[in-house]
């Protein structure tokens, strides 16, 4: 809350960008793992209709997934706090990661805020509506690597179950929905998901 809230960003953007820099470096230089790649392949074969993610790293898209709902926003774009113009992050990233240069709007000079959702911000409305629709009409939801503790997104699997969907949870620790799930695997998603998607697509 001290650095990753909207209030903190507005008051001390320099502190926010200093805090974000090592995290952004890690996320923006990471590569998709076996789970990301397997989900993309399952989507290509028509077995995955949508991926609802709380991650902001863009790894699903880099793996090849097309229908990705980023309910907590993304680091791939930024919006000007002055004129609200949106920009792709790529041109600003190298100087920021290497020198800590805070990105500024080419049009008005104000600071650009990454489009990741901070504390005190609402979820992106269109994306959230689409995620709720997917949860309401799916016949199977697979929860991957989530403790299901961050609301309101953690309520989507329950919505799916209440609408008759089957539920599989793959997470290293227990979740509040384990008892309602059809299957629970306390394991590494990068090991389990490729095998699971092979079964789904065979």
End-to-end CA distance of the chain: 46
26: annotated active-site residue: no
pLDDT of residue 1: 75
Q: What is the pLDDT of residue 99?
A: 94
Residue-wise pLDDT for 153-164, tens only, equals 999 999 999 999
Domains with residue ranges and CATH for the chain: 1-30+77-116 (3.30.1600.10), 32-72+123-201 (3.40.50.1220)
For residues 145-172, give the mean pLDDT: 94
Catalytic hit among 25, 72, 99, 186:
72
Look at residues 146, 156, 64, 81 and name the one whose alpha carbon lies nearest to residue 118. 81
Compute the mean pLDDT over every residue in the chain, rounded to the nearest whole number: 94
Tell me which of 140 and 3 has the higher pLDDT.
Answer: 140
pLDDT in tens, 102-114: 999 999 999 999 9
Q: What b-and-e string marks burial along 153-190, b requiring 16 or more CB atoms within 10 Å of the CB? A: bbebbbbbbeeebebbbbbeeebebbeebeebbeeebe
Structure confidence at residue 3 as a pLDDT band (50, 70, 90): confident
| 68-113 confidence digits (pLDDT tens) | 999 999 999 999 999 999 999 999 999 999 999 999 999 999 999 9
């Amino acid at each position: 809350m001290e650095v990753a809230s909207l209030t903190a960003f507005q008051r001390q953007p320099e502190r926010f960008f200093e805090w974000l820099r090592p995290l952004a470096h890690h996320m923006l230089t990471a590569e998709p793992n076996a789970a990301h790649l397997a989900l993309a392949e399952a989507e290509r074969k028509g077995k995955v209709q949508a991926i609802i993610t709380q991650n902001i790293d863009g790894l699903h898209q880099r793996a090849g997934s097309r229908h990705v709902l980023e309910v907590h926003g993304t680091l791939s774009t930024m919006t000007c706090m002055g004129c609200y113009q949106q920009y792709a992050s790529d041109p600003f990233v190298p100087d920021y990661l290497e020198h800590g240069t805070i990105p500024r709007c080419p049009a008005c000079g104000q600071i650009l805020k990454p489009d990741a959702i901070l504390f005190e911000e609402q979820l992106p409305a269109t994306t959230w509506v689409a995620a709720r629709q997917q949860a309401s009409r799916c016949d199977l939801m697979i929860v991957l690597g989530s403790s299901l503790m961050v609301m309101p997104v953690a309520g989507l699997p329950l919505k799916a179950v209440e609408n008759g969907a089957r539920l599989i949870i793959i997470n290293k620790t227990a979740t509040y929905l384990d008892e309602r799930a059809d299957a629970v695997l306390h394991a590494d998603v990068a090991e389990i998901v490729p095998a699971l998607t092979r079964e789904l697509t065979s």
